[in-house]
Structure 1
């Protein structure tokens, strides 16, 4: 048994690790409040599997940022203990993964990538190589289409592998027994929290403590003592300034706001009334942060951040670029920033705790908060090892009081299967991949497989109108109509078509499978190769089109800058210069034009400008789009480009796309000058950091892997020793991974018998 070098474990962690079901490698779901230390238990179990049983592990996390954070954190363990740490997020990850003879691998993956990874391992008969699967935020099984993907992934593992252990981490759920039945798992629950959490609500000028034992749920705590002028009362009727100045700058504070715009407005409002002493608190470090933010925007900077950062405040939402977000998170974690105004996504993302958490309103946009969302937000209060207590304050209006009582005092919500979500799209995708992977090749086998899903466990609770048998039959018929599967009329022998194989291997949404096929087929007829524009159009994600309304003057201006060949290509897909010119002039266009194609072309022009300039800020400004949307477009396009690449690999007629899309995926993934790409592959290295490293002489992965972290942190401005250690460890891990992949290829070649002509033997 490996001896772990952790200083100490909490009592619940020791108890959990020594449970009989854990020792016997049975499946387990364990539930604790946020900040209870769940992840440490998972990591110990992962290390045990990698080191003692020499088996691969899969760690499933909900967001790309969490995957990258975990890859950075565990790379040094991999180097010291001789196992591989591989990132599967966005466009990253090999399918199937490289087969390793001498090392175990830890695959850290997003929900979508984990599903593709499991599919590829089943297809190559390697699923038994996975000894342990850990699922963080298991309650996301109830979260729409992503929940359906988690259910598919786990159901396939349960059906195809008898030796893989599944560990699920979750917040407390109301119907945990359903999940236990689905996963054939034991359950361990504990209410431990290293820092006590006190929950409050604010009504008018009074603070009440949340106490479920009270008849009214709220118990008087104290009046809010803060003198407001009449002008200040108008600007801040909810007394947010009073609540935050009780804790900052000595302690940290998070203010959750219902919308992105509200985040920025609240941060700006608080600054207006802060005293001069806030400007002096860690002044030099805030000046460095401002400079880094300016560098990350290539000389551009958000005016709100320019005004708020000197006071130690910033906002955090999806409108930030990846670099801005990382800089702000690091500054908050180190105490340079004492307050973040943020949207609910922060609660489920990176671990950023605070002494006090304030919920500006019980709404996310116009939707009333769910109990699970509320618990995630308030769970950020209390920093282990720093604070002895954490506080949350929910600001209420009179009209929301009764609903809020249910929110703060009701039992936890139930978690339900989403395979029937969106007209049963999840079941259709599942059945297609089951046939494609030869897991089930008949209606009878399919019914047997579905009896091992959460949907089967909950079919009565979900009031599914059709029986599971009817669902299977109708789904098979629909897939047949879509030309994704073929088979005998009695359903005894089912097979996927080539298009069906391309669809599930490319992880392409069934809604867009035929559309993508037609677009690629048309593209082959006159593929423009002297520019990236045509290829970019083909990999612009369909699901972002509805979020974009073109500025017609901008559209026309950008169109006129295209070459004659590019304009001809645009006309061929259905966007002619005459149409854009008339729209820009404000004229009514009678001609029947497909607006989906028009909008998709507009987004392609955004990507085209980005690849030419690599300056996200100037492109966002030129197209009158938020920099956050442009960032989302870029990352979504790189992920979709990877999907389209896998899609085309399964269809012989699309062979010309393979090499073209491989390079384009890399260009979209990093969107920087070619010389910086090797450095950008390292987990945690963004463009501005890559430029710093390159200019300091660390120009390749090898240079970075051989760097001394101490020297690196002194050479690169504002790079902490811990960050330098993580960067060097990640670079070494990447280098090892590339070297190991090449060695495996060599070994494979040496093991193959030589097919020599008879006369030479």
Structure 2
């Protein structure tokens, strides 16, 4: 299954599977560490662990030595631009700074390597940003370099990954997230330090990173180089010789949220009706296999009973008796709304309270109140407000919007005092304050629609803003399903349906029909709308050859795909309407025949 699992036998037992093990690797991987200007080969089986391999050959000026004390440029230029290189950095900012620094000292000959392809890439990056281009990428891409982390938008990441895979880019500076799930191999992988943020690397993280080295069918071998400072040598030796971390059941993670959610769904879906049936099903989980390791103090039975009691206390399930006086587990209205909306059990009661409070004075002349109600709770702690920006955005709100902010718990006086750097005596809920700040970001996006402008306005990286938007869209859909199960929230149904649609596409209302077409993003939708293709029907009846001539940077293949997708979508909508008409005609009528 994976080279980074230390307890495959647990999974084998859980899955009732046979275990086949093979250490064959298509491309040989050689692991090295660099200490000062010396390269050592890693051999965990030998006593010293590090065996001297060679001295690093480089010639640095004094200024260059100061800028690059780890000799990363020397390590990278040994193989680029002909071969590829990944450099893992501890933070997102490190990625950007390192890519920019390397470019300063590269030979100008690097610019000539695949020059036209790199110019095309810059054009595509600018197009994906609605005319905006990251200044770091603008500087690094001509040299064949780029950075890769969660601060990029999904379109930017896709373009960077494709350019790297095709050889247009020869070097990526990246964070550890690239190591898992993305197939971007390299001839050489460099780990700038043995840290991820402030935490020392785990064995599995290290293996995931160095595992990127070696491109099957291209290289005969791959190599990784971990750069170490003297203070980290002993810890690194322990890391390189340590066994793999074990994989454990997630059901007890974060206070047993997974176990609670599983039991609620089992009862809601009527898979189990009694405590004994729940216990029997729990015997088939990975947690059952690992019971003694994960929870030595409490048995799986104890954990199951505790979870059922917790669900009862949260008013998500109830116990009733059948004709045989047997206790039957049943889901409550709130429980059904929670599992049908896929709402995290940590927030279901808070969400119910917020929605109930919202009904008392729901602001309908603006989207702000509804946006606040669908702002994801789990992103609140990922962003600390800039108080001057907060105050500026607050003062731009209408009187009704400011009143709504005060109602949810964020008065203007509080934001003003924080912006002025003054202490605030009155206690205010930090979660509510941060949530409203994120809601203001989303509210700006709905009005502005340009992600780059909003990112700049709130001084947030565009990747975070895009993640916030997609999370709000998903959570909005969850809240909509949640309210559909509770009669008291009938007013939210139509309101949240439209808002979720707006959040999904985050464009001007007239562009939404075009955005539903596969392959059409905001920039392309604006081009089509300006060219007169304003509805789905217009686009479905378009001539692809005319589109290519009319729309800038639209290739023939893309044009045919867009028209085909529009036709299919239009057919589906027509079929749905026909079925609706048929259903209406089949309904019995109380009117007398004429």
Do they superpose with TM above 0.5? yes
Partners of 1:577 and 1:471 in 2: how far apart? 46
Q: Mark the CA change 1:340 to 1:717 in structure 2 (over 3 Å): closer, same or farther.
A: farther
Partners of 2:581 and 2:239 lie apart in 1 by 60
1: CA distance, partners of 2:422 / 2:186: 54
Counting only pairs closer than 5 Å after superposition, residues 85-124 of structure 1 correspond to structure 2 as none
Residue in structure 1 matched with residue 505 of structure 2 by the alignment: 670
1:190 equivalent in alignment to 2:22 = yes
Q: What is the alpha-carbon distance in structure 2 between the residues aligned to residue 221 and residue 716 of structure 1?
A: 57
Q: Distance in 2 between matches of 1:740 and 1:181?
A: 48
Residues 1:703 and 1:240: Cα distance change in structure 2 (over 3 Å): farther
> Among 58, 62, 70, which residue is 1:238 paired with?
70
Q: How does 1:454-465 map to 2 (within 5 A)?
A: 454-465=286-297
CA deviation map 1:522-576 (0-9, x unaligned):
1112211111011001011112222333233322222222222222222222222
SS where residue 334 of structure 2 aligns? Answer: helix
Moved more, 641-650 or 561-570: 561-570
User: How far is the alpha carbon of 1:702 from its aligned partner?
Assistant: 6.7
Q: CA deviation at 1:324?
A: 2.3
Q: Deviations over 1:39-84 (max 9, x none)?
A: xxxxxxxxxxxxxxxxxxxxxxxxxxxxxxxxxxxxxxxxxxxxxx
| Aligned position for 2:347 | 512
Query: Deviation of residue 238 (structure 1)?
Result: 1.3
The alpha-carbon distance between structure 1 residues 396 and 567, as it changes in their structure 2 partners (threshold 3 A), is same
Q: CA, structure 1 residues 259+726, in 2 after alignment: closer, same or farther (shift >3 Å)?
A: farther
Pick from 374, 380, 384: which aligns with 2:216?
384
Pairing partner for 1:473 from 288, 293, 305: 305
Inter-CA distance 727–281: structure 2 relative to 1 (3 Å threshold):
farther
- In the other structure, the counterpart of 1:534 is 369
Shift of 1:342: 0.6
| Residue 348 (structure 1) aligned to one of 163, 167, 180 | 180
The one of 559, 584, 587 aligned to 2:419: 584
C-alpha displacement of 1:679? 4.3
Per-residue displacement from partner, 1:700-720 (whole Å, max 9, x unpaired)? 667777889899788766667
> Residues 328 and 520 from structure 1, CA distance in 2 versus in 1: closer, same or farther, beyond 3 angstroms?
same
Choose 479-488 or 207-216, whichever is displaced more. 207-216
Counting matched residue pairs gives 590
Q: Cα 1:681–1:333, aligned 2, differ >3 Å: closer, same or farther?
A: farther
Distance 1:616 1:740 in 2: 35
**Shift of residue 370, structure 1, vs aligned partner:** 2.2
Which residue of 467, 486, 496 corresponds with 1:651? 486
Tell me, in whole angstroms, the C-alpha distance in 2 between the residues paired with 1:191 and 1:563: 65
- TM-score, length-normalised on structure 1? 0.71
Matched, 1:556 2:388: no
The TM-score, its normalising length taken from structure 2, stands at 0.90
- Which residue is equivalent to 2:99? 267
Q: Higher mean Cα deviation, 729-738 or 471-480?
A: 729-738
Alpha carbons 1:314, 1:340 under 8 Å: kept: yes
Residue 216 of structure 1: how far off its partner (Å):
2.9
The CA deviation at 1:264 is 0.9
Query: Separation in 2 of the partners of 1:724 and 1:414?
Result: 49
Contact 2:320 2:330 in 1 (8 A): no
d(CA) in 2 for partners of 1:219, 1:700: 67
Determine the C-alpha separation between the residues in 1 that align with 2:45 and 2:406.
Answer: 69
- Within the candidate set 419, 427, 430, 2:262 is matched to 430
TM-fit CA distance, 1:401: 2.8
What is the CA distance between 1:361 and its match in structure 2? Answer: 1.5
Question: Alpha-carbon deviations, 1:94-135, whole Å to 9, x = none?
Answer: xxxxxxxxxxxxxxxxxxxxxxxxxxxxxxxxxxxxxxxxxx
Aligned equivalent of 2:33: 201
Report the Cα offset of residue 753 of structure 1. Answer: 7.8
Structure 1's 482 and 620: CA in aligned 2 closer, same or farther, altered over 3 A? same
Which residue is equivalent to 1:134?
none
Q: Distance in 2 between matches of 1:446 and 1:297?
A: 50
Aligned pairs for 1:602-613 within 5 A: 602-613=437-448
Alpha-carbon distance in 1 for matches of 2:22, 2:286: 24
Distance 2:331 2:429 in 1: 31
For the aligned residue pairs, the C-alpha RMSD in angstroms reads 3.1
SS at 2:19's partner residue?
Answer: strand
Match of 2:202 among 361, 370, 377: 370
What SS is found at the alignment partner of 2:246?
A: coil
User: Partner residue of 2:277?
Assistant: 445
- The answer on whether the counterparts of 1:323 and 1:686 sit within 8 Å (CA) in structure 2 is no
Q: Quick one: distance in 1 between partners of 2:105 and 2:154?
A: 30
> Among residues 245, 265, 274, which one is paired with 1:413 in the alignment?
245
The corresponding residue for 2:121 is 289
SS in 2 for 1:216: coil
Kindly indicate whether the alpha-carbon contact (under 8 Å) linking 1:288 and 1:718 is maintained by their aligned counterparts in 2.
no
**Where do residues 319-358 of structure 1 align in structure 2 (5 Å cutoff)?**
319-358=151-190
Greater shift, 712-721 or 258-267, is seen at: 712-721
CA contact (8 A) 2:4 2:207 kept: no
Quick one: higher RCO (CA 8 Å, sep 6+), 1 or 2?
A: 1
CA distance in 2, matches of 1:717, 1:558: 36
C-alpha spacing 1:680/1:396, structure 2 compared with 1 (3 Å)? farther
User: What SS class does the counterpart of residue 293 from structure 2 fall into?
Assistant: coil
Partners of 2:240 and 2:564 lie apart in 1 by: 43
1:681: Cα distance to partner?
A: 3.8
Specify whether residues 570 and 309 from structure 1 end up closer, same or farther in structure 2 by C-alpha distance, changes over 3 A only: same
Q: Alignment partner for residue 393 of structure 1, among 214, 225, 233?
A: 225
Aligned partner of 1:544 among 379, 385, 390: 379
Whole-angstrom distance in 1 between the partners of 2:106 and 2:176: 25
Give the secondary structure class of the aligned counterpart of 2:292: coil
Superposed displacement of residue 692, structure 1: 4.7
- Residues 743 and 755 (structure 1 numbering): CA distance in 2 closer, same or farther, change over 3 Å? closer
Do the aligned residues in 2 keep the contact of 1:443 with 1:491 (CA within 8 Å)? no
Cα distance between partner residues in 1 of 2:14 and 2:446: 46
| Structure 2 contact 180–208 (Cα < 8 Å) conserved | yes
Alignment map for 1:636-647 (pairs within 5 Å): 636-647=471-482
Q: CA deviation at 1:172?
A: 5.2
What CA deviation, in whole Å up to 9, does each residue of 1:650-700 have, x standing for no partner?
111111111211121121122122343344445565433444555567666
Which residue matches 2:319?
487
CA distance in 2, matches of 1:739, 1:253: 51
Q: Deviations over 1:345-388 (max 9, x none)?
A: 11224322222221111221122222222222222223334333
Structure (1 or 2) with the larger CA radius of gyration: 2
Contact between 1:256 and 1:360, CA under 8 Å: does it hold in 2? Answer: yes
Cα distance in 2 for residues equivalent to 1:409 and 1:737? 58
- List runs of 5+ in structure 2 lacking aligned partners: none
Between the aligned partners of 1:722 and 1:356, the Cα distance in structure 2 is 36
On the 8 A contact 2:4/2:208 being kept in 1, the answer is no
Measured at CA, do residues 446 and 741 of structure 1 come closer, stay the same or move farther in structure 2, by a change above 3 Å?
farther
CA 1:336–1:708 in 2, change beyond 3 Å: closer, same or farther? farther
